[in-house]
């Protein structure tokens, strides 16, 4: 399965369970471009600070989006991993921490959940 196919399948699965998919178009080869791509995919507010702390803050708030599960699908993350391995690991760490912080909430209708999917097969 190609990364594009994997991303489409993840988006289809998100839609099927009532979640909101957000596709990060991959292929970015630097930290700044990756942060911008995530910000665009998640419709971050203009005050996003474009650094890892701000990324975590945005991903663990999500109050500008409708309540529910939001699935961040990062297609092509492999390009950043190859170009800037340390920045890739740092961004992955933030995504993982944010996903844990916004894990499943026992059916609360007014809460947000974050699921991160890497589509790089």
Segment 44-81, tens digit of pLDDT? 999 999 999 999 999 999 999 999 999 999 998 999 99
CA neighbours closer than 13 Å in the CB half-sphere of residue 109: 0
The two structure tokens encoding residue 16: 């099927």
Asked whether the CA dihedral 73, 76, 82, 83 is positive or negative, the reply is negative
What total number of domains does the chain contain? 1
Contacts of 99 (CB under 8 A, 6+ apart): 114, 115, 116
pLDDT of 95? 97
pLDDT of residue 8: 87
Question: Any idea what the CATH number is for the domain that residue 81 is in?
Answer: 3.30.370.10
Domain range spanning residue 114? 3-119
| pLDDT bracket for residue 1 (50, 70, 90) | confident
Q: Which one has a higher pLDDT value, 42 or 76?
A: 42
What are the pLDDT digits (tens) for 31-41? Answer: 999 999 999 99
29 vs 107 pLDDT, higher one: 29
Task: Give the count of alpha carbons within 13 A of 32, CB side only.
Answer: 0
Q: What is the pLDDT of residues 87-110, one digit of tens each?
A: 999 999 999 999 999 877 665 657
Mean pLDDT, rounded, for 9-34: 90
**Distance from the Cα of residue 38 to its chain's centroid:** 6
pLDDT recorded at residue 28: 83
The pLDDT of residue 10: 87
């Amino acid at each position: 399965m190609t990364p594009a196919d994997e991303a489409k399948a993840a988006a289809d699965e998100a839609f099927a369970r009532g979640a909101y998919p957000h596709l990060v178009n991959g292929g970015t080869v630097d930290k700044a471009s990756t942060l911008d791509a995530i910000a665009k995919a998640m419709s971050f507010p203009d005050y996003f600070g474009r650094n890892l702390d701000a990324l975590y803050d945005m991903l663990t708030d999500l109050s500008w989006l409708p309540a529910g599960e939001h699935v961040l699908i990062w297609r092509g993350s492999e390009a950043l991993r190859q170009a800037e391995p340390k920045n890739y690991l740092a961004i992955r760490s933030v995504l993982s921490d944010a996903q844990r912080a916004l894990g499943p909430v026992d059916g609360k209708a007014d809460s947000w959940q974050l699921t991160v999917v890497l589509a790089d097969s």
